[in-house]
């Protein structure tokens, strides 16, 4: 039976819940996410147990805190366990190659993985991303340069991009 280390952590975007398998981050969700955290775990790991103590989650929390404090490269150091199909993993790998603060269109991502006509499927893979911040799907945008399609909300997507560009003061979460 698989044992997952689970924990939660407060971030500027809200409380997140995480699960790690053998020290690798496999799920990261916001509290109000749909589908809910427990459902995601049950779907991916139908026969698992959980524990709340461990060093791996503490490390992820330190990396998240550092990211929100400005160390944008720290997320790249996290060991991850994504699951997913070959296509999804190709999309997620391409997303991790997009530098912090930069953006790429879904069509450009499709071409980068050798599937030039699969922009919509790339969008679906972004939507299925189990660790939305570490695999930075917030960096994927529409072909017209607009922010589109973010499960955590377009306001958060904009906030993350502004944060990565060093513009935190110019884009406050919750500001009108």
Which residues are known to be catalytic?
137
Give the alpha-carbon dihedral of 75, 161, 31, 35, to 10 degrees: -90
- Show Cβ contacts of residue 6 under 8 Å, excluding neighbours closer than 6 positions: 17, 18, 19, 20, 41, 50, 51, 52, 57
What whole-number distance in Å separates Cα of residue 7 and Cα of residue 128? 21
**φ and ψ of 18, to 5 deg:** -135, 155
Nearest of 79, 74, 69, 108 to residue 91 by alpha carbon: 108
- Show Cβ contacts of residue 109 under 8 Å, excluding neighbours closer than 6 positions: 91, 94, 95, 119, 122, 140
What whole-number distance in Å separates Cα of residue 166 and Cα of residue 162? 6
Contact 136, 95 (CB under 8 A): yes
């Amino acid at each position: 039976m698989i044992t997952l280390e689970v924990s939660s952590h407060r971030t500027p975007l809200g409380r997140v819940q995480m699960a790690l398998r053998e020290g690798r981050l496999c799920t990261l969700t916001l509290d109000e996410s749909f589908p809910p955290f427990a459902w995601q775990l049950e779907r991916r790991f139908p026969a698992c147990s959980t524990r709340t103590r461990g060093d791996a989650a503490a490390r992820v929390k330190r990396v998240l805190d550092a990211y929100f404090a400005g160390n944008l490269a720290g997320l790249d150091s996290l060991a991850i366990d994504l699951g997913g199909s070959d296509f999804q993993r190709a999309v997620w790998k391409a997303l991790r190659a997009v530098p912090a603060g930069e953006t790429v269109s879904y069509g450009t991502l499709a071409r980068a993985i050798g599937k030039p006509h699969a922009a919509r499927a790339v969008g679906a893979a972004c939507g299925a991303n189990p660790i939305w911040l570490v695999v930075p799907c917030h960096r994927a945008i529409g072909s017209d340069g607009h922010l589109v399609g973010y499960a955590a909300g377009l306001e958060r997507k904009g906030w993350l991009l502004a944060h990565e560009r060093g513009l935190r003061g110019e884009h406050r979460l919750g500001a009108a």
